[in-house]
Amino acid sequence: MMIRCISMMIDRLREYVAHETPTGDAQALNAFADRLLDRYAELGGTARRVAAPTGDHVVADFPGRGPLAAEAPLLFIGHHDTVWPIGQLRDVMPWREQDGLLHGPGVFDMKGGLVVLEAALEQIADRDHRPVRVVVVADEEVGSPTARELVAAESSGVVAAFGFESPLPNGDLKTARRGSSRVRIEVTGREAHAALDPGRGVSAIDELIDQLIAVRALVASYADVLCNVGTITGGGRTNVVPGAAAADVGFRFIDPETERAVLDAVTGLEPIRPDAQLQVSVMSNRPAWQPSAATDALLHKVQAAAQSVGQEIGGAPASGAADTNLTGWLGIPTLDGLGPRGKGAHAVHEQVIAASLAERADLVAAIIMTI
């Protein structure tokens, strides 16, 4: 029976949650990266940081042992940024242990996954296994704009990729993901007095509204495309025709053909008003990761590993996107969802089931030793 030090895992998770790491807060993220570098070195890895202006990423390589020591590595992918601002822990979501559940900002997405990974690496330290490569990125929650090239580069030559995001609600792994793109639509109009000289003005807000209506009509012409207008900004006073407005829009796609068609159409939008100026930018993009025979074969191997530690595991596609979109799109056998079971990602009731930390660590250790 593999060692299950659940209390130490809970302590580690509490420590990680206490170190708040909002996306884009380079100082907080870099300090957390220091923790990871030290921890991976303690576990026998060779770790390095990859500098990025909004927060550094971490890469660590763990050598193999025994007959598989020279084989291609397994790639494990995670992130240390969260959606929560500094102060969320103190003011809104204090750490809490109750009825077998652990509550706090980032506990489920995805610092619990980082703790699971560390515990698994500790378990297999003196066991035979192929090499392991770990990539932990600092901007996953906004689409990994500075980490995409890093993930692609570190994916080269690996035998399979695994993500430590949260699993499906029943604990199953994720075998495919929708593509995800963030698009910013910016409009420049012309300011004028709204009563004395309205004809001279060009309303950026009116133009933006009409463009968003056009986007809605475009999306409606495709099946299974999700579209969410996440933010709208613009204007200032009701007596001034607004000269600037912008919206950030999130799209989700099930296949690359639809993704390309929709993004081409959106980035090709033209101003409706003669004197309005329009700029459309793709801020981040994760290609659709579609089901494949290679991933199905990997799932079968993981199911056998799970049985070796008394567990059963399934798999199914998921709607959310993550860095595993890229490895799956590149054709690498990929599975995601190795983080602990729980619920409430990006919500104030975010939580994990404490016992699942050890269960997942046992599963990951079995995967490393058998694949």
pLDDT digits (tens, 9 = 90+) for 282-292: 999 999 999 99
- Tell me what pLDDT residue 3 has: 42
Q: What is the pLDDT of residues 197-238, one digit of tens each?
A: 999 999 999 999 999 999 999 999 998 999 999 999 999 999
Q: Which of 337, 361, 315, 350 is nearest to 166 (CA)?
A: 337
| CB-CB contact of 9 with 364 (8 Å) | no
**Cα 309 to Cα 2: distance, rounded to the nearest angstrom:** 8
Half-sphere exposure of 17 (CA within 13 A, CB side): 28
**Cα 194 to Cα 203: distance, rounded to the nearest angstrom:** 10
Which residue in 25, 56, 122, 140 is the catalytic one?
140
**Cα 368 to Cα 371: distance, rounded to the nearest angstrom:** 6
Inform me whether the pLDDT recorded for 165 exceeds 50. yes
Q: What is the pLDDT of residues 353-364, one digit of tens each?
A: 999 999 999 999
233 pairs with which residues across the strands? Answer: 246
At 46, is the pLDDT very low, low, confident or very high (cuts 50, 70, 90)? Answer: very high
Residues 167-171 have a mean pLDDT of 96
Radius of gyration of the chain (CA): 23
Active site residue 81: yes
Residues 5-30 have a mean pLDDT of 96
Q: What is the pLDDT of residues 230-265, one digit of tens each?
A: 999 999 999 999 999 999 999 999 999 999 999 999
Q: What is the pLDDT of residues 53-94, one digit of tens each?
A: 999 999 999 999 999 999 999 999 999 999 999 999 999 999
Inform me whether the pLDDT recorded for 1 exceeds 70. no
Inform me whether the pLDDT recorded for 4 exceeds 80. no
Mean pLDDT of the chain: 96
- Tell me what pLDDT residue 5 has: 81
- Tell me what pLDDT residue 186 has: 98
Got the DSSP string for 2-42?
----HHHHHHHHHHHHHS--BTT-HHHHHHHHHHHHHHHHH
Q: List Cα–Cα distances, 24 to 38, 49, 84, 97, 332, in angstroms.
A: 22, 16, 11, 29, 29
Domains of the chain: which residue ranges?
A: 6-177+288-370, 179-286
- Tell me what pLDDT residue 2 has: 42
Backbone angles phi, psi at 119, to 5 degrees: -65, -40
Q: What CATH fold (topology level) applies to the domain 179-286?
A: Alpha-Beta Plaits (3.30.70)
**Cα 162 to Cα 301: distance, rounded to the nearest angstrom:** 13
- Tell me what pLDDT residue 223 has: 87
**Cα 289 to Cα 285: distance, rounded to the nearest angstrom:** 12
At 37, is the pLDDT very low, low, confident or very high (cuts 50, 70, 90)? Answer: very high
**Cα 45 to Cα 65: distance, rounded to the nearest angstrom:** 13
The predicted model scores a pTM of 0.91
Q: Which CATH number fits domain 6-177+288-370: 3.30.70.2700, 3.50.50.60, 3.10.450.50, 3.40.630.10?
A: 3.40.630.10
Q: What is the pLDDT of residues 274-329, one digit of tens each?
A: 999 999 999 999 999 999 999 999 999 999 999 999 999 999 999 889 999 999 99
Which residue in 20, 25, 56, 81 is the catalytic one?
81
Q: What is the pLDDT of residues 116-154, one digit of tens each?
A: 999 999 999 999 999 999 999 999 999 999 999 999 999
